[in-house]
Structure 1
Amino acid sequence: MNINIRQETEKDYKLSETVVEKAFKNEEHSDHKEQFLVARLRRSDLFIPELSLVAETSKEIIGHIMLTKLFIENERNRYESLALAPVSVLPEYQNRGIGSKLINKSIKIAKELGYKSVIVLGHDKYYPRFGFKPASSWGIKAPFDIPDEVFMALELEDKSLNGITGTVAYSKEFFE
């Protein structure tokens, strides 16, 4: 199967949201509203068009990923990072490496754009294969109570999270 990963365009938005909705439809740890989160994030000042990607085969969109800006804050400083949320693949195409292709491509682009780190709340057996480690390793905390192993960070540049501690401040779009 030939998979093309490309930047999402405005005309893809409705199709992408449908992919996100279908991808999370049977997910146990989901509020089943991820497609609305994607739409809200696109309208926010956190949206980075170059980091909103789709996977397609035969011109059909079968996957989507979005990285948006977020901040890690402490009493003295505010550090910019990226949130990986969500990554979605249509159920009939899952477990074929498409999600991995989307993640790898988005990480590559984020590095090229000069971003230093990515934060994800996700499956602790999946994301470490991309280099994600518990965010607590750097003294970075989630703004809510969750198991340590599912809240992870990835350095996009060697030692880019050294000395950065604080709590991740997700935008209001994540809570609406």
Structure 2
Amino acid sequence: MRIRREQPEDVTAIHAVHRAAFAPLTPAGAPVVEGRLVDQLRAGPWWLPQFSLVAVASNGDVVGHVVATRAVLEPAGTPVLGLGPLGVLPAWQRRGVGSALMDAVLSAAQACDEVLVGLLGDPAYYRRFGFVPSVQHQVVAPDPAWGPAFQVRLLGQAVGGGTFRYAEPVQHLG
């Protein structure tokens, strides 16, 4: 398996990855929104192509995807990254694909001098990548109900606190 930047020909496979990865977590009868969300993110000014990465199996199949897009800390307008979605085909889960994607996107973010990454997810999973509850860095979640599931990772120097604002398509998911 290797990790590389998303290419235009990967769009359909990225949809399939997110549909398969998130279907078990989606209420019966509800649409899986993650594939459409990536399309909406891709179409806006918050899209940063260097942070849309795919995991590719030795046969060339896309088996995982992660994306980070421009977000801000308000009121100062500090540019930060919002991570997600991260999806891995079920047959490839628990085989290190998600970890490899996370390590790659965080390394890319650090190499590009990004200062902070925020995400909504399972603290038990994301702790291994250095994420902590956002309140530890005075960052307020977009939705206070998210509690400790909203996490951040500093990539360099400390940043002033503030309210985290995802890219518009993510903000309007709720």
In structure 1, what is the equivalent of residue 9 of structure 2? 11
Instruction: State how many pairs are aligned.
Output: 169
CA distance in 2, matches of 1:166, 1:31: 33
1:32, distance to aligned residue in structure 2 (A): 2.2
CA distance in 2, matches of 1:99, 1:27: 17
**Superposition RMSD on alpha carbons, in Å?**
1.6
Runs of 4+ more than 4 Å apart: 28-31
Q: Deviations over 1:74-128 (max 9, x none)?
A: 2xx1111001111100011101110000000011111111111100100111001
CA distance in 2, matches of 1:33, 1:49: 20
The one-letter code matched in structure 2 to 1:172 is E
1:18, distance to aligned residue in structure 2 (A): 1.3
* Residue pair 2:26, 2:32 contacting (<8 A) in 1 also: no
In structure 1, what is the equivalent of residue 167 of structure 2? 171
CA distance in 1, matches of 2:128, 2:5: 23
1:28, distance to aligned residue in structure 2 (A): 5.3
Within a 5 Å distance, the mapping from 1:145-164 to structure 2 comes to: 145-157=144-156, 159-161=157-159, 164=160
1:31, distance to aligned residue in structure 2 (A): 6.5
Within a 5 Å distance, the mapping from 1:1-176 to structure 2 comes to: 3-27=1-25, 32-57=32-57, 58-74=59-75, 77-157=76-156, 159-161=157-159, 164-174=160-170, 175=172
CA distance in 2, matches of 1:19, 1:66: 13
Q: Secondary structure at the match of 1:126?
A: helix
The one-letter code matched in structure 2 to 1:79 is T
Q: Normalising by structure 1, report the TM-score.
A: 0.91
CA distance in 1, matches of 2:146, 2:13: 33
CA distance in 2, matches of 1:90, 1:55: 10
CA distance in 1, matches of 2:161, 2:38: 27
The percentage of counterpart residues that share the same residue type is 30
Q: Secondary structure at the match of 2:25?
A: coil
* Residue pair 2:82, 2:167 contacting (<8 A) in 1 also: no
- Stretches of structure 2 that go unaligned for 5 or more consecutive residues are none
CA distance in 1, matches of 2:143, 2:155: 25
Q: Secondary structure at the match of 2:24?
A: coil
